[in-house]
């Protein structure tokens, strides 16, 4: 039995300030948000 798996890897800055800045960028300027992978896998504050 084979199991197919897709793994996404991206480089994100950690910390509370970076999380809040990221959420604000997504909320107020979503069209200019550079990371499509982040946009797909995360909402404003939590993983989808």
Domain span holding position 41: 1-48
Mean pLDDT of 7-26: 84
pLDDT digits (tens, 9 = 90+) for 19-37: 888 888 888 887 887 778 8
pLDDT given at position 34: 78
Q: What b-and-e string marks burial along 1-37, b requiring 16 or more CB atoms within 10 Å of the CB?
A: eeeeeeeeeeeeeeeeeeeeebeebbeeeeeeeeeee
pLDDT given at position 25: 86
Q: How confident is the model at residue 10 (pLDDT cuts 50, 70, 90)?
A: confident
Q: How confident is the model at residue 44 (pLDDT cuts 50, 70, 90)?
A: confident
Total domains, the chain: 1
């Amino acid at each position: 039995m084979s199991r197919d798996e897709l793994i996404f890897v991206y480089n994100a800055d950690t910390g509370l300030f970076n999380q809040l800045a990221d959420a604000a960028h997504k909320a107020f300027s979503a069209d200019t948000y550079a990371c499509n992978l982040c946009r797909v896998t995360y909402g404003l504050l939590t993983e989808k």
